[in-house]
Structure 1
Amino acid sequence: MVKRFTFLLILLFGFGFTESQSSSYVADSFNVSYIQMKNTATCLYSVFISTSCSPPKYTTDHISIAFGDAYSNQIYAPRLDDPASGTFESCSSDTFQINGPCAYQICYVYLYRSGYDGWKPESVKISGYNSRPVTFYYNTYIPSDTWYGFNLCNDASSSFQVSTKTWFICIVLGFFLNFWI
């Protein structure tokens, strides 16, 4: 009985060592013109963008966003910036209400920056009607004239995934501890 308990404890302990697939990247194959409108219904999304305290103090660059779910439902806002209103100043946060096709769990987001100032978002948090709020952590300068972001849609089926390597280590440890204890 103690051996089975130890084995289960090792497996559960392994869940704490999950590998993250949250690295950002330049989206070479991302095409904003491929917007699926499977669903004619319109939903409202709240997008909360926090800008880092790194220079520049503000940006006059054009900032766009595209995000969506694993079922090709895509929401696109071609222009979020408004230099006259102080949007995207350093050490600040901005909230946007964006209408778009109704999507399920949001699992990707891309930002597009065009201009010469530069801009370093800290994070982007998106919430919508059919979606739990999700936060994407950038904390890096967005390259100019390129869609840059995250695509976690392969992991969208489970928010609690364990890598094969982690499973293997836990099983081997559990096996050896079964004989040792």
Structure 2
Amino acid sequence: MMKAACLVVLFAFISVSAQPRSIIQNPQPNPNFTVNSTNHQNAQTCSFTVEITTSCSSVQYTRDAISISFGDAYGNQVYAPRIDDPSTRTFEQCSGDTFELYGPCTYQICYLYLYRSGYDGWKPERVDVYGYNTRAVSFYYDVWIPGNIWYGFDYCSSYSAGSHNQIGSMTILSCLIFLLCIILV
């Protein structure tokens, strides 16, 4: 009886600690963000598909200059200085636009920033990034992008040693519970 109870407690702990944790964060301005000017001549080039959905509450279409930069926690960065094209009405209200961008290959994409300059304004709903070595990732904006500042998300801290320490401590705790079960039984 005690053995079964111990196993139930152990499996309950493992299943609860293994649940994915969602991070809800609003996009933020980043005045310190800079485009990586490192020369990537020897870096392998990869392609990325970026899908941007413009909100239905945005302006009908924007003539603003829109730039994008995204990357991983290891300094690999993809940068496109202009993804807008006013002649084709890119970023029209209630629409989606797809871009094929090229840059250094990355690990998991964990940050994305947009930069807008102009007077029309623009409200993206979300940005999805698909790459060869990385899982697809979505960044939910649904806010007006302020002008002349990099604006977006940085989840790279979740890839730091702190998250590995948290996983390590959960594993140690699971082992301790398992050993306690063995001793009690």
* TM-score of the pair, normalised by structure 2: 0.77
Alignment RMSD (CA, Å)? 3.0
Partner amino acid, structure 1, of 2:44: A
Quote how far apart the aligned CAs of 1:120 are. Answer: 0.7
Partner amino acid, structure 1, of 2:132: Y
2:58 and 2:124 in contact (8 A); partners too: no
1:38 and 1:73 in contact (8 A); partners too: no
Quote how far apart the aligned CAs of 1:71 are. Answer: 0.9
Pick aligned residue for 1:69 from 49, 68, 72: 72
Provide the residue aligned with 1:117 in structure 2: 120
Which of 1 and 2 has greater Rg? 2
What is the rounded CA distance, in whole Å, between the counterparts of 1:142 and 1:53 in structure 2?
14
Provide the residue aligned with 2:182 in structure 1: none
How does 1:20-169 map onto structure 2 within 5 Å?
20=23, 22-35=25-38, 37=40, 39-156=42-159
What is the rounded CA distance, in whole Å, between the counterparts of 1:17 and 1:66 in structure 2?
27
With over 3 angstroms needed to count, the CA separation of the structure-2 counterparts of 1:38 and 1:105, relative to structure 1, is farther
Provide the residue aligned with 1:178 in structure 2: none
What is the rounded CA distance, in whole Å, between the counterparts of 2:11 and 2:41 in structure 1?
44
What is the rounded CA distance, in whole Å, between the counterparts of 1:145 and 1:72 in structure 2?
23
SS of residue in 2 equivalent to 1:131? coil
Identity of aligned residues (%): 47
1:35 and 1:75 in contact (8 A); partners too: no
What is the rounded CA distance, in whole Å, between the counterparts of 2:129 and 2:88 in structure 1?
22
1:81 and 1:88 in contact (8 A); partners too: yes
Quote how far apart the aligned CAs of 1:18 are. Answer: 2.9
1:49 and 1:125 in contact (8 A); partners too: yes
Q: Which residues of structure 2 form unaligned runs of 5+?
A: 175-185
| Cα deviations by residue, 1:80-110 (Å, 9 ceiling, x for unpaired) | 1111102000100000011111212111110
Quote how far apart the aligned CAs of 1:6 are. Answer: 3.9
Partner amino acid, structure 2, of 1:109: L
Q: Which residues of structure 1 form unaligned runs of 5+?
A: 172-181
Provide the residue aligned with 1:174 in structure 2: none
1:37 and 1:73 in contact (8 A); partners too: no
